[in-house]
Amino acid sequence: MQILNKVTAEHRYPFKIFVVQNDVIQTVAQVAKLDSNLLNIEIIKFYKSLFRSKDQGYIMMIIEKNLFYPVMHIFR
């Protein structure tokens, strides 16, 4: 997860292609179901780095596929 956060921040366009082709955001959302505190922190950091990139493609993908619900479940 830390690698995903670093790559999101530094390699925006090449990583975006990788994310779209391999459904990385959906996989991270599925990992949120494990209820591990350390993983949950890294998942929140990953979503934060996606939103910090201000890329409309990421935001639209999260909204269209309803991938923000697992993060909200972590905060509950």
In this structure, which amino acid lies at residue 70? Answer: P
Question: What is the Cα–Cα distance from 23 to 27, expressed in whole angstroms?
Answer: 6
Query: DSSP code of 55?
Result: -
Instruction: Answer yes or no: is pLDDT of 16 > 80.
Output: no
Question: What is the Cα–Cα distance from 75 to 1, expressed in whole angstroms?
Answer: 18
Q: What digits encode the pLDDT tens for the residues 1-13?
A: 777 777 777 776 7
Provide the percentage of residues in the chain whose pLDDT is more than 70: 93
The phi and psi torsions of 55 (rounded to 5 degrees) equal -95, 120
Q: How many CB atoms lie within 10 A of CB 62?
A: 19
CB 20 within 8 A of CB 57: yes
